[in-house]
Structure 1
Amino acid sequence: MVAERYRLDQQVASGSAGVAFKATRLEDGFLVRMLRRDLDGVDDDYLLRVNQLLTLDMPGLPRAIEHFVIDLDGARSLWMVHENVRGHSLAELDAPLEKDQLLARLGEAAALLDPLHARWPPMIHGALSLSSLLCRGSDDRLTLVDFDPVTTNPSPTVDMRELGQIASTLVGKRDAQLARQLQQLLASVGDATEARTALATLRRLRSTEASPEAKTQRMSSDELAFELGVGSSEELELVDPAAESGVLAVAGEFGERLASASGSSIPVRREARKTPIVPTRKRTRAPSNDAPIMRPEELSRELSAAHRVANEMQKRRRVQVEAAKVLIIAFVALVVTLITLMVVGFV
């Protein structure tokens, strides 16, 4: 019995967010999910986070019902009460996911996190794990449960690193290379928006590889130029991966940022690019059939970095436009003031 209102029926999960239970509300028999989090050493700042979770109303996420604190012999614990979600967590899967299924599930998780990360300040889950990603029994859609109720870290990269760890765990020893690549890919993105772009690109490339018309599992230099919208393969300034021990050497700041973000030892050419690679509208010409140079996972990381640079450029343009507007308004006000003074002086 908890707070004389709830009966704990079963412990269903335990993680960094706390211990989760399936419970019953005694007054009407309503099934709920309750999360208990110890408050030892936690500042009172957590109340702001709790209020955010209580007012969170988003399609696809269970509704928060209430919260309360129980003090038992000086040991304080926070209880969060949410609607119960019928279904199973990714920790309860009977069989490993196929690669396409895994990418689809990761895309669903990123789509749920996207509107949270887009807020200002960003709102994160803070405790992503296999047990906090549930597949609804009604439609098999993914949902998020057991948000960390006391986290004060607003950085979406926390969720991205944890999602990368989930991907690596789901793949496991069946494909160590894919597990490492997915973990590095998600660790290199800044938020769920970039993760969705990278995962969608990876899924599209995998579907292209699986088609009967696919001649190779690797991308040619002209095909890569076609995808990024640059003029030719020479503009990419990529070297033959065979000459770099099978690892792609990425020119310019993109490679440096990706290598530092993922902690990998990817060799990077230090020569500065004359013009950055920014994705644009695809060209209509068909790509030529030259030697393949890039794997889909490597392309996904490159596109993610390019997308980030494009967003930064757009932000700078917006700042410049706003500054120009302020100057124009000030100039107009000055002209009006001068005209007014001239009219008053004439009268």
Structure 2
Amino acid sequence: MFCAACKREIEQTGDGQACPSCGAPAWLDAVAGGRLRLDERIEQDGVSACYDATWFDGDHERPARARYVSFRVRADEDEDEPDFEGLLARRAAFEHPTLPTWIGARTVRVKHSGELWIVHARVDGLTIEDPEFVRPSGQLQVLAMLNELSVLLAQLHAADPPLVHGKLSPKTILRRAEDRRFMVLDLGTNVSTLPDVVARSSKQANDLIRSAPELVFTDPSPASDVWGLGLAALVMLTGATPSELRGTGGRLRWQDRAAVNPAFGALLERMVAPRPHKRIPDGQALAKALSELRPQAISQGTDAPTRRMSSEELHSELGISGEVNSIYNPAEESGEHSNQSGTYELASIAGEIGGSGSNSGSSSRRSSSSSRRHVGSSRRRKRDPDAPVMRPEDLSRELSEAQRTILASTQEERKRVEVSQTLIFAAVALMAAGITWLLVLISQT
């Protein structure tokens, strides 16, 4: 077990006994009228930690999960104390099917510093980041998770003031073993909503890679929760870890790891935009955006075989209309500089691919730059409205495979050239040596 005071691992002690290392009581008392024993540490980042624990109330015991977060108080001693009780009462009164049963909380103060402990029922299951969690997941599974948890965020963020989780990530979203329903863990440790209370932030890399970019400088906001939920969705979708997804400038690089419906991809990009003002702002806006997605457009899995379709079928599949339509470009959404326009004429692309595909009978692998035309061009080719076209994700996958094939063949060709040059240099050296030897023999005779 672990001591609740010094956080060191110690031999298991009985209720009321002192820690052999620090001398303080090893159990945490006064938690919802009971006492808490910390059995196993799940994680620790220097300013907070999470434990599998057991909560005792008289003769009854209950498996629990306990987390504490360190804080400091900026107020002077003669000013009013921060309303921790009010904050915890709001959390205790909030119930939702995606939240574990609340047990209790307690604050431990030493002058201007302290710890806020929250305790809720332990839930059997796997977090999204757990190595045993099956990943990658399909689009529909990810969409179902987002729909389920966006309802929770919408209710949390609609409170006055908003209830912000602050540490939402693949590590705090769990799929329950009992019914495979998703649950949000550790809600209630965000003390930044209290005046003059500052939560100590972790600077460890393992914690920062799961945090929205702005949390390095500011307190959590509803937009930070949206980012954390977006990160969890991308971990499910790609099978990658948060560290593998992190790019430069706070961006998440996931587009080359998963092929998704363009409308769904645009939504995910808005959830994890590096700048909060370009992000979906809160749970209510996220729930609304998810409700506007057409399920039939997402229902076609990425593992489906490549099938050519007409431009009208493509328009219907993507839920768009009109003669000129847009293809989603993540670089534009994230503000990243790109020398390619994000809007192209779908009819033109359909004709280019369909024309080459009808001659060869196989999937087309041509450079996309040759088939793009900017909107507003004064010259527009006339295309058959029923020109066959591949799905965007299939085209992207085939272009990626073609690029890898070209790179591999280029490297092999470079190796062959290097070997040939080496053989030529060796032959020339041997000939020079032979000629020199003959000249020496001639001069001696």
Bin the TM-score by the shorter chain.
0.5 to 0.7
The structural deviation recorded for 1:98 is 2.1
SS in 2 for 1:91: coil
Is 1:96–2:135 an aligned residue pair?
yes
Between the aligned partners of 1:154 and 1:19, the Cα distance in structure 2 is 18
Query: In the alignment, is the contact (CA less than 8 A) between 1:91 and 1:130 conserved in 2?
Result: yes
Q: Distance in 2 between matches of 1:218 and 1:157?
A: 39
Is the aligned partner of 1:176 residue 2:241?
no
**2:61 — aligned with what?**
29
In structure 2, give the amino acid aligned to 1:204: Q
**Given the two structures, how large is their TM-score scaled by the length of structure 1?**
0.59
SS of match in other structure, 1:40: strand
**Cα displacement (A) at 1:167:** 2.9
1:131 corresponds in structure 2 to 171
What's the C-alpha RMSD, in Å, of the aligned pairs?
4.1
Provide the residue aligned with 2:184 in structure 1: 144
User: Which stretch has the larger CA shift, 197-206 or 182-191?
Assistant: 197-206
Report the Cα distance in structure 1 between the residues aligned to 2:186 and 2:123, rounded to whole angstroms. Answer: 11
> In the alignment, which residue of structure 2 is the partner of 1:332?
none
Matching residue within 307, 332, 335 for 1:263: 335
Q: Which residue of 2 aligns with 1:208?
A: 300
Task: State the secondary structure of the residue aligned to 1:116.
Answer: helix
Q: State the alpha-carbon separation in 1 of the partners of residues 38 and 115 from structure 2.
A: 15
CA contact (8 A) 1:91 1:131 kept: yes
Structure 1's unaligned 5+ residue stretches are 242-246, 250-257, 270-287, 297-347
Give the letter aligned to residue 134 of structure 1. Answer: L
* Aligned mates of 1:217, 1:121 — CA distance in 2: 50
Structure 2: give runs of 5+ residues left out of the alignment: 1-26, 76-81, 194-218, 246-252, 259-264, 273-278, 344-384, 394-445
Report the Cα offset of residue 117 of structure 1.
Answer: 2.6
Distance 2:47 2:98 in 1: 20
Does the Cα contact within 8 Å between 2:106 and 2:117 map onto a contact in 1?
Answer: yes
Residues 16 and 289 (structure 1 numbering): CA distance in 2 closer, same or farther, change over 3 Å? farther
Relative to structure 1, the CA distance from residue 116 to residue 218 in structure 2 (aligned partners, 3 Å threshold; closer, same or farther) is: farther
Instruction: Report if aligned partners of 2:39, 2:51 keep a CA contact under 8 Å in 1.
Output: yes
What are the superposed Cα offsets for residues 271-298 of structure 1, whole Å, 9 maximum, x if unpaired?
xxxxxxxxxxxxxxxxx745769958xx
**What secondary structure, in the 3-state scheme, does the structure 1 residue paired with 2:300 have?**
helix
Q: What is the alpha-carbon distance in structure 2 between the residues aligned to residue 99 and residue 212 of structure 1?
A: 11
Higher mean C-alpha deviation, range 16-25 or range 126-135: 16-25
Pick aligned residue for 2:152 from 112, 123, 126: 112
1:96-131 CA-partner distances (Å, limit 9, x unpaired): 232233333333332332322333443222211222
Cα deviation for residue 89 of structure 1 reads 1.6
- Give the TM-score taking structure 2 as reference length: 0.48
By percentage of residues, which structure has more helix? 1
Q: 1:178 to 1:166 in 2, by over 3 A?
A: farther
Partner in structure 2 of residue 255 of structure 1? none
Give 1 or 2 for the bigger CA radius of gyration.
2
Query: How far apart in 2 are the matches of 1:292 and 1:16?
Result: 54
Tell me the SS of whatever aligns to 2:255: helix
Q: Within 5 Å, give how 1:326-345 maps onto structure 2.
A: none
How many percent of aligned residue pairs carry the same amino acid? 22
Shift of 1:217: 8.2
